[in-house]
């Protein structure tokens, strides 16, 4: 995982990424097995199989191979498990979408559905390579750009978008707000990197008082953001971004007090939303007691759960269930489809893949060389984790429905591309070690600090050791 610091030749990178290669190939094998299963069920159900039916698997396999070869060719040294996990999750998504009839009818080589996953991998590749070698730190400069773009996007969408089922959609039913998951986090990480020290300085005499002077631009931005999102009734996005805000504040400043204010704000906002938005109110009621109105508000969640109950432990088998009885199964309720066809075991597998994804993100955040990288990686990982948990929790009735997609698996181009880009950024940060190596002064200081405790032998090819404590270090003049 850790890159060799010496100039890497093509052969060296080929060897280095052997682990990724193996994982990707197993992943391809696994998805191929599932694909045969789905194809068989389609045929058994009386659908005519043509050569084009195999196209999705072919395109998927080619994109995995292409991704790997490109990473090797570009001497990419970032995380290898992350790409494999994303490939697996995307494969699950492919199977589930294929099964739900995403590629039904006349499937030709020009079907845009076919290129969603390759496009995702391309987005991942581009962001990872573009930001590699520490280049991602340039993104910190665009602090006000990110903030401006985020708000502008929301305003434009509110003016031009069309409403459907309460939410706002742009042209062609896309949801451009997905981009906020990247832009807002970028802006947040940049802001916190700049002001972490002042934000950590709470009032000396009133220890409960946060430094409002450093906080107010952030708060104003946030109020605008949440307000605009509330107008769009994008409750899920509000939750995701706000959780990231609080966690990053704590992470950047080491001040646990921000948690407390976060909880207070969450309680207040929750009460406010529930009193003013009938939409949210109904969802909470449907969540608390779906049997109150089983054929109305509780219908979707109960149909999803019925499918899962029917699936039981093993599942009905890919292609053998009847997930079409669950409304909007392809996007928000894709997890219920997996539960129905792969059973509880399949759900556990999916959850484990997501857990590994989060684990990689957390490790990358811990190993990043710059404050910005640490914060950005932590923020992006939190986005993925919260989004996944909101979706899983909503579908299983553990929490109210928020109408949020499951990363990599749910249907939806904008969501898919965004999550792939998020992983691309994480990969870029994981490749960022070299940037720090270029600055020997800092490295020596840190290495010394580590060595001071137990004189642990440092392996020769890895002169750079990661710091022992995650505490925010005093801000140093950054050389971009």
Partner 1 sequence: MTVSTPLQLFGALVDSAAWPALRIILHLAFFAAAVIILWRIWTRLAGAKARPGQTLQLFAALPMAGVAAAFLGVLLYQASWQLTGLFRPEFVAFMQSHDRREFNPAHRIQRGRILDRHGQVLAESQERDGRVYRVYPFGRAFAHTVGYSDPRFGAIGAEAAANAQLNGATPEVLASWGELGRQLLTKDKRPRGQDLELTLDAELQLLALQLLGSRHGAVVLLRPADGALLVLANNPAFDPNRLSPALFSGPAAGTPLLNRATQGLYPPGSVFKVVLAAAAIESGFNGTLNCPAGGYTTSSRYPPIRDHDYYTAAKAGRTWTGHGNLNLTTALVESSNVFFAQLGVRLGHDSFAGAGERFQFDRQVRLYPGTDRYGNLSTGRLPRFARNDLYGLAQASIGQGRVLATPGHLATIAAAVANRGLAMRPRLLAQEPPAPLGQYMAEQTAARLAQILRKVVTTGTGRGIDGPQLAIAGKTGTAQNPRGAAHSWFIGFAPAAAPTLAVAVLVEHGGYGSSAAAPIARDLLLKAMELENAR
CB 429 within 8 A of CB 132: no
Residues 170-209 interacting with partner 1 (rule: CB under 8 A): none
Could you tell me the smallest distance in angstroms from the CB atom of residue 221 to partner 1? 25
| DSSP three-state, residue 293 | coil
Helix (H) or strand (E) run with residue 40 in it: helix 18-44
Tell whether residue 339 is a contact of partner 1 (CB under 8 A).
yes
Could you tell me the smallest distance in angstroms from the CB atom of residue 247 to partner 1? 8
- Tokens 């994982």 locate to 23
Q: Which is nearer to partner 1, 84 or 190 (CB)?
A: 84
Could you tell me the smallest distance in angstroms from the CB atom of residue 200 to partner 1? 16
Q: Taking contact as CB under 8 A, which single stretch among the options 173-181, 232-240, 360-368, 412-420 is the one that binds partner 1?
A: 360-368
Tell whether residue 463 is a contact of partner 1 (CB under 8 A).
no
| DSSP three-state, residue 142 | helix
Residues 50-79 interacting with partner 1 (rule: CB under 8 A): 50-51, 53-54
Options 13, 21, 41, 125; binder of partner 1; rule CB under 8 A: 41
Could you tell me the smallest distance in angstroms from the CB atom of residue 209 to partner 1? 26
Task: Compute the chain's Rg from CA coordinates.
Answer: 23
Cα–Cα distance measured from residue 310 to residue 268, given in angstroms and rounded to the nearest whole number: 39
Q: Taking contact as CB under 8 A, which single stretch among the options 129-137, 162-170, 335-343, 410-418 is the one that binds partner 1?
A: 335-343
Tokens of 303: 């149909």
CA distances (Å), origin 73, targets 8, 17, 123, 132, 312 = 11, 11, 17, 14, 45
Tell whether residue 379 is a contact of partner 1 (CB under 8 A).
no
Options 148, 270, 344, 437; binder of partner 1; rule CB under 8 A: 344
Tell whether residue 36 is a contact of partner 1 (CB under 8 A).
yes
Q: Which is nearer to partner 1, 161 or 373 (CB)?
A: 373
Q: Which is nearer to partner 1, 144 or 309 (CB)?
A: 309
Options 284, 359, 437, 443; binder of partner 1; rule CB under 8 A: 359
CA neighbor of 150 nearest in space, from 178, 126, 189: 178
Q: Which is nearer to partner 1, 280 or 307 (CB)?
A: 307
- Tokens 């969540």 locate to 287
* CB contact burial 207-220 (16+ within 10 A = b; e otherwise): eeebbeebbeebee
CA neighbor of 230 nearest in space, from 279, 263, 184, 287: 279
Q: Exposed, middle or buried, 479 (CB in 10 Å: 0-12/13-18/19+)?
A: exposed
Q: Which is nearer to partner 1, 223 or 352 (CB)?
A: 352
Q: Taking contact as CB under 8 A, which single stretch among the options 105-113, 201-209, 269-277, 338-346 is the one that binds partner 1?
A: 338-346
Options 90, 125, 273, 302; binder of partner 1; rule CB under 8 A: 302
Write the CB contacts of 268 (distance below 8 Å, at least 6 apart in sequence).
none
Tell whether residue 274 is a contact of partner 1 (CB under 8 A).
no
Cα–Cα distance measured from residue 3 to residue 276, given in angstroms and rounded to the nearest whole number: 53
Residues 77-96 interacting with partner 1 (rule: CB under 8 A): 81, 84-85, 88
Options 285, 434, 450, 473; binder of partner 1; rule CB under 8 A: 450
CB 361 within 8 A of CB 374: no
Could you tell me the smallest distance in angstroms from the CB atom of residue 289 to partner 1? 9
Cα–Cα distance measured from residue 441 to residue 149, given in angstroms and rounded to the nearest whole number: 37
Write the CB contacts of 329 (distance below 8 Å, at least 6 apart in sequence).
100, 304, 323, 336, 337
Tell whether residue 243 is a contact of partner 1 (CB under 8 A).
no
Residues 383-422 interacting with partner 1 (rule: CB under 8 A): 385, 389, 392-393, 396-398
């Amino acid at each position: 995982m850790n890159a060799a610091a010496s100039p890497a030749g093509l052969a060296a990178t080929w060897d280095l990424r052997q682990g990724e290669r193996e994982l990707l190939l197993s992943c391809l094998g696994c998805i191929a097995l599932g694909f045969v299963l789905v194809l068989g069920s389609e045929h058994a159900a009386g659908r005519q199989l043509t050569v084009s039916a195999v196209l999705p698997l072919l395109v998927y396999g080619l994109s995995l191979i292409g991704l790997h070869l490109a990473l090797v060719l570009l001497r990419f040294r970032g995380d290898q498990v992350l790409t494999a996990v994303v490939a697996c999750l995307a494969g699950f998504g492919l199977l589930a979408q294929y099964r739900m009839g995403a590629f039904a009818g006349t499937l030709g080589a020009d079907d845009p559905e076919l290129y969603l996953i390759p496009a995702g991998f391309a987005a991942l590749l581009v962001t990872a390579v573009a930001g590699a070698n520490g280049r991602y730190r340039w993104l910190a400069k665009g602090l006000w750009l990110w903030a401006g773009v985020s708000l502008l996007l929301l305003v434009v969408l509110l003016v031009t978008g069309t409403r459907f089922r309460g939410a706002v959609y742009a042209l062609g039913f896309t949801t451009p707000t997905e981009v906020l998951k990247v832009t807002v986090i970028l802006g947040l990480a940049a802001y916190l990197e700049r002001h972490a020290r002042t934000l950590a300085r709470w009032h000396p005499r009133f220890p409960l008082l946060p430094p409002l002077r450093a906080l107010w631009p952030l708060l104003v931005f946030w109020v605008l953001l949440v307000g605009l999102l509330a107008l769009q009734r994008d409750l899920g996005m509000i939750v995701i971004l706000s959780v990231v805000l609080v966690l990053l504040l704590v992470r950047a400043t080491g001040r646990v007090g921000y948690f407390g204010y976060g909880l207070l704000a969450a309680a207040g906002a929750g009460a406010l939303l529930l009193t003013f938005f009938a939409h949210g109110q109904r969802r909470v009621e449907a969540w608390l007691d779906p049997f109150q109105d089983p054929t109305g508000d509780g219908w979707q969640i109960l149909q999803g759960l019925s499918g899962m109950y029917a699936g039981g432990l093993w599942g009905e088998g890919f292609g053998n269930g009847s997930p079409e009885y669950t409304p909007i199964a392809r996007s928000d309720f894709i997890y219920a489809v997996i539960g129905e066809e792969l059973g509880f075991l399949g759900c556990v597998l999916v959850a484990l893949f997501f857990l590994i994804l989060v684990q990689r993100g957390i490790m990358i955040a811990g190993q990043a060389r710059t404050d910005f990288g640490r914060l950005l990686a932590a923020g992006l990982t939190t986005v993925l984790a919260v989004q996944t948990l909101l979706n899983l929790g909503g579908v299983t009735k553990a929490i109210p429905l928020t109408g949020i997609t499951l990363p990599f698996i749910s249907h939806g181009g904008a969501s898919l591309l965004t999550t792939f880009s998020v992983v691309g950024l994480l990969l870029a940060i994981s490749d960022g070690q070299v940037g720090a190596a270029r600055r020997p002064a800092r490295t020596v200081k840190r290495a010394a600090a580590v060595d001071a405790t137990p004189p642990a032998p440092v392996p020769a090819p890895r002169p750079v050791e990661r710091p022992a404590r995650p505490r925010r270090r005093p801000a140093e003049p950054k050389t971009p």
